[in-house]
């Protein structure tokens, strides 16, 4: 044990960072699809669907991601479903991100003024046409900045995938620190790498916000 930081360690960290990016993309795509469904379900004309979706959101938003990951990876096999670490991480992140993005997007859809719905209705557009042609295009514009902002949280939260065996950035740093015992140095490096991944995304979301003149009211995880 011991030694000092060498190029192998840095390569190991870089590999971890790649997993961080990969998992983030999976989370964004999977969570995005789930979030879309959740958002539509939350404003569904059917009461049962609305309640179901609201319950899902409440449950997921009240549970730490770590626990969700754990229960997905180790809780499904006894039910006869085998999951690889990648599947487990993807499913958990999808379920988790879907709940948050769904809520964010529902807010955006609802913030399109009611008069726009009525105007579209008055023009005899069907419900689907109203949604697709009038409401969603406007909601997408509103939703872009908070969605990009939430991306930052996804990037940081993928660190919890270590529980299913992923050696992503944070876990890679931990493993190296456990060999070298240089916590200050190593965590500083990790902080810098995360910052380098997240800051451009934050900046982008701010730029988008500024271009819409809309203050940020979205929620972020720590």
Partner 1 sequence: MSDIANVATGATVVALTNVHKSFGPLKVLDGVTFDVARGDVLCIIGRSGSGKSTALRCIDRFETIDSGEIVVCGRKVHDPALDLRALRQDVGIVFQSYNLFPHLTIEENITLAPTCVKGTSKAEAREQARAALAQVGLSDKIQHYPEQLSGGQQQRAAIARSLAMRPKVMLFDEVTSALDPELTGEVLKVIEGLAADGMTMVMVTHEMGFARSIADRVVFMHRGKVHEHGTAAVLTTPTTPELAQFLGTGL
Partner 2 sequence: MKINLDFGAILERWPSFVSGAIMTLELAVIATVLGTAIGVLGAIARRSGHPVATRVAAFYVESIRNTPLLVQIFLVYFGLASLGVKFPAFTVAAAALTINVGAYTTEIIRAGFDAIPKAQIEAAEGLALSKPQIYWHVVMLPAIEKVYPALTSQFVLLMLASSVTSQISAEELTAVANYIQSDTYRAFETYILVAIAYVALSLVMRAGFYGLGLVMFPRRRRLGTPL
Partner 3 sequence: DLLDDVMKAKKIRIATDMAIPPSGMMDSAMKPTGSDVETAQLLAKDWGLEIEWIQTTGATRIPNVQTNKADIIVSTLSVTPERAKVIDFTKPYAALQSVVGCLKTATVKDWADLKDKTIAVSRGTTQDTELSNMKDRNLKLARFDDDATMVTAAVSGQADCVASSATIVNQIGVKNPGRVFEPKVPIRNFDLAIGVRQGEPKMIEKLNEWIAANLKNGKLNEIYKKFHGSELPPEMRG
Q: Is 183 in the site for partner 3 (CB under 8 A)?
A: yes
- The partner in contact with residue 126, picked from partner 1, partner 2, partner 3, none with C-beta cut-offs of 5 to 8 angstroms by kind, is partner 1
Question: From the CB of 50, what's the least distance to partner 1, in Å?
Answer: 21
Tokens of 1: 């044990």
Residue span binding partner 1 (CB under 8 A) among the ranges 92-100, 119-127, 148-156, 172-180: 119-127
Q: Total binding residues for partner 2 by CB under 8 A?
A: 36
Integer Cα distance of 217 and 72 in angstroms: 31
Q: Is 123 in the site for partner 1 (CB under 8 A)?
A: yes
- The partner in contact with residue 219, picked from partner 2, partner 3, partner 1, none with C-beta cut-offs of 5 to 8 angstroms by kind, is partner 2
Residue list 34-93, contact with partner 2 (CB under 8 A): 59, 61-64, 66-67, 70-71, 74-75, 77-78
Q: Is 3 in the site for partner 3 (CB under 8 A)?
A: yes
Longest CA–CA separation in the chain, Å = 74
In SS3 terms, 55-120 reads as HHHHHHHCCCHHHHHHHHHHHCHHHCCCCCHHHHHHHHHHHHHHHHHHHHHHHHHHCCCHHHHHHH
CA distances to 23, 113, 189, 206 from 193, in Å: 16, 41, 6, 20
Residues in the site for partner 1, rule: CB under 8 A? 113, 115-116, 118-126, 129, 133-134, 137-138, 141
């Amino acid at each position: 044990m011991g030694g000092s930081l060498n190029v192998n360690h840095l390569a190991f960290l870089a590999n971890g960072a790649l997993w961080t990016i990969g998992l983030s993309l999976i989370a964004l795509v999977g969570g995005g699809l789930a979030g879309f469904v959740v958002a539509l379900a939350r404003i569904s004309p059917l009461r049962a669907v609305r309640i179901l979706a609201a319950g899902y959101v409440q449950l997921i938003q009240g549970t730490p991601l770590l626990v969700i990951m754990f229960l997905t990876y180790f809780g499904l096999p006894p039910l006869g479903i085998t999951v690889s670490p990648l599947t487990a991480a993807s499913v958990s992140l999808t379920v988790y991100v879907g709940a948050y993005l769904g809520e964010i997007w529902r807010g955006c859809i609802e913030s399109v003024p009611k008069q726009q719905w009525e105007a579209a209705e008055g023009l005899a557009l069907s419900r689907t046409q109203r949604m697709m042609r009038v409401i969603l295009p406007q909601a997408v514009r509103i939703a872009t900045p908070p969605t990009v902002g939430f991306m930052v949280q996804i990037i940081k939260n993928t660190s919890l995938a270590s529980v299913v065996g992923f050696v992503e950035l944070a876990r890679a740093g931990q493993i190296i620190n456990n060999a070298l015992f240089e916590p200050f140095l190593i965590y500083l490096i990790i902080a810098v790498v995360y910052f380098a991944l997240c800051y451009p995304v934050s900046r982008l979301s701010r730029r988008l916000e500024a271009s819409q003149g809309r203050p940020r009211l979205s929620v972020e995880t720590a």
